[in-house]
Structure formats: C-alpha cells, structure tokens
C-alpha cells in the first residue's frame, strides 16, 4: 500500500495541533458568574407547601357557602330583590360552583364528566338539601331555649341560611334570642325598644338575632362578627341582659 508523502503528514499534524490548541483554549475560558438576579432562589420553609394546600382547600370548600349567603344578601340588600328571589338567585349560582367541582372531580378520577349531569344529580340535591335544612330546622344544642327554637321560622330566611352555614364551622354557636314582641322587654328588665328589628317587620319576619359571647374565646367572637360583616349583615356587640352579639339584616 502506498504511504503518504512527508508534506502530507506534516500538514495533518499541523491541523491536529491547531484543533487541539483551539479546544484547550475553549476549555480554559472561565464560565461567567451568574448575575445577582439569576441567583437561585432560597428554598421555602418546609411548612409553606402544606399550609398553602390547606388554605387552598379551605377556600374551595368555603366558596359555595360564600356564594350562597353573600350572594343572597347582595341580591336582597344591594339589588332590591324580594327575599325568596334573592335566595333562589344565589342558589342558582351555587349550583354552578358545585357543578363545576363535581365535573372536575369526575374528570380527574373517572376520565370523563358531564357538567349538566353533575348539576342535576349532585349539585341540585346538595344545595336543596342544605337550604331546606337551614330554613326549617335549628338544633336544640344551638338554641338557648325551646322558645328560641319556636321563633326560628319567624326569622328572615337569609339570616337562617347564614346561621346554618356558620354552625358548620362553629359547633358551639348558641342563639339566645330571635323574634320578640314589646311585652318581652319588661320581662327582661329593659325599656321597650320600638325600633328593634327583633320585631316582625312588614314582610312578616324578624330581621335580627342575638348570639352568646360569654364563655367563648374573644378570637372566636371576633371571627363570628367578621363572618357576618363579610356576608353583608350589620353587627353590634352590646350588653342587654348579658354581653352578646347582635346581628341584623336591614329591611328593604
């Protein structure tokens, strides 16, 4: 086999040396240091992620009740809708929220979902069942006396729904007073209050409720008051026969 001439070998060696020198020079150049803005972020504390998840789950669970209670008060107080129309309108919005939840869960775990089916078979029974229970029933453990329970259905329906929603989060809630008549004030040792919303108003319902605060932690009392304010009700912490939280819905 013929061998290459010396000039060819010399040229090949020169090319290899040049390539090696170029590669050495490339590797010798130091990598640029990252700028302060590109510095890696510090790891978050270990409790941040679970706390964030718990907060998100809590907000998702609370959203349907917020839509139902705050929505009905908004339609009634700000839009001037009749009480039952306001509750039905907020209930319809709640159906949409619960239906979306149901469709998302069905798609996630079963791979398919129909929003209309979720609304018809899941959201509608849940919303109707909760509203029916809220409007008709209050547990003996949440009423100071049987007389208070007897006054429950004489209380405005939006107040009843708000109370039943709060009971889900505050199992120690105690209603001390609902509807009144003028003769109740002398029995309590108080002057008659002609302007109280505890009286039945022109729509046939009492628009006020009193909740016990004695024996409850102050943080809990403040959170309960904040809940009613956020939902659109008026509140007043005052002393009549005892320290209590007065909650009322303006008459429209």
Q: Out of 81-90, 108-117, 143-152, which region has the weakest mean confidence (pLDDT)?
A: 108-117
> Angle at the Cα of 198 (from 203 to 150), degrees rounded to 5?
85
- Mark whether 124 and 143 lie in a shared domain: no
Q: What is the pLDDT of residue 187?
A: 82
Report the predicted TM-score, pTM, of the whole model to 2 decimal places.
Answer: 0.79
- Mark whether 166 and 80 lie in a shared domain: no
pLDDT in tens, 132-167: 999 999 999 999 999 999 999 999 999 999 999 999
The residue behind tokens 């010399």 is 10
- Mark whether 201 and 164 lie in a shared domain: yes
Domain assignment of residue 77, yes or no: yes
Domain assignment of residue 24, yes or no: no
Q: Cβ atoms within 10 A of the Cβ of 207, count?
A: 24
User: Which position has the higher pLDDT, 67 or 107?
Assistant: 67
User: Could you give the CA distance from residue 90 to residue 94 in angstroms, rounded to a whole number?
Assistant: 6
For the chain, what percent of residues have pLDDT higher than 90?
61
Domain assignment of residue 82, yes or no: yes
- Mark whether 132 and 144 lie in a shared domain: no
Q: What is the pLDDT of residue 35?
A: 58
Domain assignment of residue 46, yes or no: no
Q: What is the pLDDT of residue 1?
A: 47
Q: What is the DSSP letter of 151?
A: T
User: Which position has the higher pLDDT, 227 or 107?
Assistant: 227
Enclosing domain of residue 88: 54-136
- Mark whether 153 and 240 lie in a shared domain: yes
Domain assignment of residue 220, yes or no: yes
Confidence of residue 234 (pLDDT cuts 50, 70, 90): very high
Number of domains in the chain: 2
Average pLDDT taken over every residue of the chain: 87
Q: What is the pLDDT of residue 47?
A: 79
- Mark whether 154 and 205 lie in a shared domain: yes
Q: Of 85, 112, 136, which one is at a domain's C-terminal end? A: 136
- Mark whether 218 and 147 lie in a shared domain: yes
Q: Of 136, 157, 182, which one is at a domain's C-terminal end? A: 136
CATH number assigned to the domain comprising residue 207:
3.30.1380.10
- Mark whether 129 and 79 lie in a shared domain: yes
Q: Of 104, 136, 168, which one is at a domain's C-terminal end? A: 136
- Mark whether 228 and 169 lie in a shared domain: yes
Pairing state between β 175-177 and 243-248: unpaired
Domain assignment of residue 147, yes or no: yes
pLDDT in tens, 5-55: 555 666 776 777 777 667 666 666 565 665 555 555 567 677 788 888 898
- Mark whether 124 and 148 lie in a shared domain: no
User: Could you give the CA distance from residue 234 to residue 79 in angstroms, rounded to a whole number?
Assistant: 17
Q: What is the pLDDT of residue 136?
A: 96
- Mark whether 148 and 213 lie in a shared domain: yes
- Residues forming a β-bridge with 210: 177, 246
- Mark whether 126 and 144 lie in a shared domain: no
């Amino acid at each position: 086999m013929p061998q290459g001439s010396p000039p060819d070998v010399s040229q090949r060696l020169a090319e290899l040396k040049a390539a090696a020198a170029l590669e050495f020079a490339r590797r010798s150049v130091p990598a640029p240091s990252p700028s302060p803005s590109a510095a890696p972020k510090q790891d978050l504390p270990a409790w941040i992620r679970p706390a964030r998840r718990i907060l998100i789950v809590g907000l998702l669970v609370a959203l349907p009740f917020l839509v139902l209670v705050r929505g009905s008060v908004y339609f009634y107080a700000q839009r001037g809708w009749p009480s039952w129309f306001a509750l039905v309108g907020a209930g319809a919005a709640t159906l949409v929220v619960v239906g979306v939840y149901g469709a998302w869960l069905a798609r996630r775990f079963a791979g398919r979902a129909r929003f209309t089916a979720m609304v018809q078979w899941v959201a509608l029974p849940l919303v109707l069942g909760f509203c029916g229970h809220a409007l008709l029933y209050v547990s003996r453990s949440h009423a100071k006396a049987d007389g208070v329970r007897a006054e429950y259905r004489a209380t405005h329906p939006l107040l009843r729904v708000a109370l039943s929603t709060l009971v889900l989060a505050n199992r120690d809630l105690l209603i001390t007073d609902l509807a009144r008549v003028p003769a109740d004030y002398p029995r309590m040792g108080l002057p008659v209050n002609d302007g109280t919303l505890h009286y039945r108003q022109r729509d046939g319902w009492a628009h006020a409720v009193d909740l016990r605060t004695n024996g409850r932690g102050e943080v809990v009392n403040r959170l309960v008051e904040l809940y009613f304010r956020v939902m659109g009700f008026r509140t007043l912490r005052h002393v009549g026969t005892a320290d209590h939280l007065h909650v009322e819905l303006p008459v429209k």
